[in-house]
Chains A and B, each alone.
Chain A
């Protein structure tokens, strides 16, 4: 692989790896949270919802700033990580994954929550009267009915992670192979007046994002039961 190819492929591979891992972790986290949000009438629910929605509203630099402090060697999470693994979280791939999860959390939780809330309560009751226990009803009725929400959550988390910039800059910096994702690399190329490389990366990202979103909307239309 030539140096020029590595300059393109390196950040791309790192970005895809980060986005895939983040999406997977987010779906695991979002599933129970979205279920709780869709069915709970707890008085703290609005506060939880507000916290989850914060990344939509806050400038990424604000989020990144707090995450940098939290994940730093003297921060609550970062300090614990250093003690546990001997490595720092900031300016590392692991730190980037955690930051991405926080940054994209609402994009995983909200579609799932909407799907659980809208598809199901009535059908779930029917399932219970037909002999399905709570878990059985969840897997045989609630989950399949929420399938379109799952696809949306996964695609949005993935796409949103692809596009993150400010948070990465604050938490991860620009370390090739570790934290140098596509958006950072593009910024770098533009700064260096290397428009050709910037064009290539930006073009790839543009086409990729369009294809993924188009595929999602197609799949969801086909799964639209109602």
Chain B
């Protein structure tokens, strides 16, 4: 009798262990057959990427897991080799490239605009000049009804409120683009604060990611922050017109962003679009890039994965581009796509180019 009971129990235990191990093995094998690509980085293009990868998954069945942790995060994780690609709107610094110790390609995927969004009653349409923007973010202009702001906004009702600056608390390509612009138009900014994805902000609140900044501005009356255009649009927040180099007040649109992208595009596509010379160009625009190692055989990655990655990059710069405009990103110009194609074709696995 005892043996019977023991046998029954043993059977049950064995069955359970078998089922569990089958599940685990299946989970590993089954999912592994389907390549999954892991990427991390910028929140700037996140609405576009999440749409693109959803479409890509439905069409090709390949899962692309992109976590928007900020451009700084994308660069860091790429250097640590814990991801397959990084997303960044900040160009990698020489220090970072040295730490990566292998060539990293910057493949552009689209261009976007960094807008100044604010929270004032009545959602007035405001205009900003470069020096005013710099001084607001330096903390020198502290009230909304400051003379300098009302001078360029004659019709607007500006309240006697303190300006609450909202900036990024994490390493951000959006910050990079914004500070690159401010460094070009304000000598004081260039000296005091400088350009980079993480800055020693002189004033204000920090939000995590573009969503964090948008969220804080939306909830804090009298605040002003800088976000990618789509975040202001999706949250129905007002954003200001900015005076460009040629003296024109320009609103951020797909057209004005594309104009700003009509500059000389170098082969490695590491170019800044801020303070552009284009007469209709929006001055705070920038490319956003996918960062990949040129040689994809690192940290035990398979050739299969390298092939999938290259396929993904090709799709993002060609068929995937049609997802850009509905989300208010400027698609790549013909010249940009050509340069991107050259870069993608130079990606190798064990020295062998992945795409001819």
**Does A associate with B in a complex?**
no
Which residues of B line the A interface, CB within 8 A? none
Which residues of A line the B interface, CB within 8 A? none
